[in-house]
Amino acid sequence: MSGRPLDVLEASLQEPVTVNLKDGSAYYGTLAGYDQHMNVVLEPPAADEEEDVLGEIEVTPVEDTTIIRGDNVVTIKA
Amino acid sequence: MSGRPLDVLEASLQEPVTVNLKDGSAYYGTLAGYDQHMNVVLEPPAADEEEDVLGEIEVTPVEDTTIIRGDNVVTIKA
Amino acid sequence: MSGRPLDVLEASLQEPVTVNLKDGSAYYGTLAGYDQHMNVVLEPPAADEEEDVLGEIEVTPVEDTTIIRGDNVVTIKA
Amino acid sequence: MSGRPLDVLEASLQEPVTVNLKDGSAYYGTLAGYDQHMNVVLEPPAADEEEDVLGEIEVTPVEDTTIIRGDNVVTIKA
Amino acid sequence: MSGRPLDVLEASLQEPVTVNLKDGSAYYGTLAGYDQHMNVVLEPPAADEEEDVLGEIEVTPVEDTTIIRGDNVVTIKA
Amino acid sequence: MSGRPLDVLEASLQEPVTVNLKDGSAYYGTLAGYDQHMNVVLEPPAADEEEDVLGEIEVTPVEDTTIIRGDNVVTIKA
Amino acid sequence: MSGRPLDVLEASLQEPVTVNLKDGSAYYGTLAGYDQHMNVVLEPPAADEEEDVLGEIEVTPVEDTTIIRGDNVVTIKA
């Protein structure tokens, strides 16, 4: 669970993650891909995972395959 | 439908995508091209695709071939 | 009319284009040159092309040879 | 305790650090990883370390494995 | 008068140019040099050239040899 | 005392420096390290050095080993 | 006195320069060094040079050896 930032992303593939952006928004989904710029691809979370998130404020579960350009990212929580 | 961000763009060529920009605007169109900086080219969406989008708020279907410079992009939804 | 972003610029040489910038301004002119940073050179549009644009709001036809530095660009419409 | 910035990060692995970001927020946790862009990975601090921090204002102990993208960082205090 | 952006700068050496910056200011002078980052050097314009510009609003003829760092530039008008 | 910027940093190692950041804050400490991005490491200043600074406004002597990411820096005064 | 931007800096070594920054501040001093990023080193100006500047508004003669990080620079006037 520890290691370099990209190692953490690699270990989180197919797992739910929350991505917080510089504009204050947050995206929740299953990590489907990433690259060295921290561009990430999120897929809609599984139904049971989505349940947990609906209790949180301001986090948007993605509804489509969503590419997030890395330079917008503040944090990625695995 | 999963994979690296540029793989997702490659798989989305000739498909409708929505591109959200840092200034809060959003563009809808058929993905005609892209490069490694996430610069993208959108073409006007097909008429039947446009129908769906007109029901959404704040998304502008492109009317001309439109190059979007990648550093403006927040998300691309495939 | 489709392809990579720089291919679209190449195909648009000597054609009228509209360049929208991050500061909200827009420039209209004949695309005279570009480079890989999306720096572009616009020349004053031909008189008949200018006619069309004068009906649009907030688009400035360039009056001189104008270099636009690429990092200001949001979209280029061909 | 002195040396180049990345040497300080290397020496701080598995130690508690506070990361201050450009948006004014601050994160506290155990440094689990970093890379040359100053992207860092924080893990929740050990319970006894967390005690100390709860007395400080505006510092958020991370609750999950958290990747922070380096371009948001102002300071990292070891 | 057409060509790549740096070709236009090369062709404009020793000619009067107006440089518009991101902070809304504008500088007028004789183009004395440039580099690939679009950093430019302006010299005070010749007296007769200055006459023309004094009729424009908000353009400052440079009074000294002035280096402008390229990342501030929006447009350079030749 | 003169020379290239990184030469000045090299000559200032183990000396007190003041680092002014883009957010208006300033840090005072002993320069313990730096790299080519102007990332710097400050250590708490020696007690007698700190005395001098306490008479200045808005300068914070660092209390811990502090890495400052270079892209926040406006000036470093040696 | 003309030439590429870095040639102008080279020719200005040991001469008084005024550096205007993006935050609206300005620094006056003797140019002691520079590098390819336009990072510059200013030394306090000689007493007779300082006299001239004290008649100008908002220009701060540097009091110490001052490194200015290049990405803050708008203009350097030689």
pLDDT tens across C4-37, in order?
999 999 999 999 999 999 999 999 999 999 999 9
Instruction: List pLDDT tens digits, range B58-78.
Output: 687 999 999 999 999 999 999
Q: ∠ at Cα G12 (G8, G69), nearest 5°?
A: 80
pLDDT confidence of residue E62: 95
pLDDT at G34: 98
Closest chain F residue to G9, measured at CA: F4
Q: Which amino acid is at B66?
A: T
pLDDT at G59: 81
Place of tokens 């430019």: E40
| Rounded CA separation B29/B42 (Å) | 5
Residue F1 pLDDT exceeds 50: no
- Per-residue pLDDT reduced to its tens digit, A20-60: 999 999 999 999 999 999 999 999 998 766 555 555 556 87
Answer for the pair D41, D70: CB distance below 8 angstroms, yes or no.
no
Task: Point out the residue among G70, G73, G78 whose CB comes nearest to the CB of E65.
Answer: G78
Q: What pLDDT band is residue E57 in, cutting at 50, 70 and 90? A: low
Q: What is the pLDDT of chain B when averaged over all its residues?
A: 89
pLDDT value, residue E50: 58
Interface chains of chain G (3 or more CB pairs under 8 Å): E, F
**Residue where the block lists tokens 């073409």:** B43
In this prediction, the residues of chain G whose per-residue pLDDT falls under 70 are: 1-2, 48-58
Residue C60, both tokens: 């400035």
Weakest-pLDDT range from B60-74, C51-65, D6-20: C51-65
Interchain CB contact of B53 with C (< 8 Å)? no
ipTM confidence: 0.88
Q: What is the secondary structure of C54-74 as a DSSP string?
A: HTSSSEEE-SS-EEE-GGGEE
Give the model's confidence band at E1: pLDDT under 50 very low, under 70 low, under 90 confident, else very high.
very low
Task: Determine whether the interchain pair A33/B2 forms a contact, defined as Cβ–Cβ distance below 8 Å.
Answer: yes
* Residues E65, G2: C-beta atoms closer than 8 Å: yes
Mean pLDDT of the F1-19 span: 91
Residues in chain E closer than 8 A to C65 (CB atoms): 1-2, 8, 77-78
Return the domain boundaries, chain F. 5-77
Query: Alpha-carbon distance B72 to B15, whole Å?
Result: 21
Find the CB nearest A67 among B22, B71, B76: B76
Q: Which of G21, G33, G64 sits opposite F74 (nearest CB)?
A: G21
Listed in order, strand segments (DSSP E) in chain D are: 16-21, 26-34, 40-43, 59-61, 66-68, 73-77
Q: Is D20 on the interface with A (CB under 8 A)?
A: no
- Residue B1 confidence (pLDDT) above 50: no
Burial class from Cβ neighbours inside 10 Å (0-12, 13-18, 19+) for residue E73 reads: buried
- What's the average model confidence in pLDDT over D30-56? 83
On whether any CB of chain B is under 8 Å from the CB of A72, the answer is yes
The pLDDT value given to residue F60: 77
CATH architecture of C5-77: Roll (2.30)
Sorted by sequence, the CB contacts under 8 Å of residue C51 that are 6+ apart come out as: none
- Do residues C70 and C37 touch, judged by C-beta distance below 8 A? yes
Q: Which residues in chain E touch residue G8, judged by CB atoms under 8 angstroms apart?
A: 32-33, 41, 65, 67
Residue G51 tokens read as: 């006299």
State the Cα–Cα distance between residues G8 and F66, nearest whole angstrom. 36
Residue F75 tokens read as 């000036």
Task: Inspect the interface and report whether the beta carbons of C40 and E75 lie closer than 8 Å.
Answer: no
Q: Does A36 touch chain D (CB under 8 A)?
A: no
Q: Is C62 on the interface with B (CB under 8 A)?
A: no
